[in-house]
Amino acid sequence: MNNKETGKVIVIVAPSGAGKTTIARKLLADYPEIKFSTSATTRPAREGEKDGREYYFLSEEEFNRKVEKGDFLEWESYSGNKYGTLQSEVDKLVESGYFPLLDIEVKGALNVQRIYDSNLVSIFIKPPSLEVLEERLTNRGSETDETLSKRLKRAEMEMQHADDFDYSVVNDDLETAYAEVKEIIESFITD
């Protein structure tokens, strides 16, 4: 299906460690008509990351200028850096006939939901519990005690908003959760 006429947008939201990125990657692999909307950030590129692929890497000044000009659908500060979704990036994908996939934070997702209204489907990916989430984050081996504590506090706040989205999917088993997300997406893109 071509998305040029409908301009439909897909938003996936989840606390860090709930499986959002894994599910998003599986969608991108299974549906060529869905394309990831590349966000902008002020954080430095990590090894192997390329500007325009993982993120648009902007200086603090460039990012602030874009905020002032209203170029972002949503943006926020997180862990000392800024992240945002460029309206031009989403529009470019829609104009090319794709369904943009946004992997964003709760606050931004709520704003994007208001903008796109019925031309958007939003899915909140929930961990089975905060204890399971803590275990997943700990098993990553990339969290300090301080960052783990911050992520868990943020996850508690984010999970309070799960009902603000069109769908809520519990990721207890990845394949089961993905099958549920796929069913939602197929209904949305063929509607």
In the chain, the largest separation of any two C-alpha atoms, in whole Å, equals 48
How far is residue 27's CA from residue 148's CA, in Å, rounded to a whole number? 28
Query: What's phi and psi for 83, nearest 5 deg?
Result: -135, 145
How far is residue 63's CA from residue 141's CA, in Å, rounded to a whole number? 31
Binding-site residues = 14-21
Mind spelling out the 3-state secondary structure of 150-191? Answer: HHHHHHHHHHCCHHHCCEEEECCCHHHHHHHHHHHHHHHHHC
Is residue 175 a contact partner of residue 22, using CB atoms and an 8 Å limit? no
Binding-site residues for ATP = 14-21
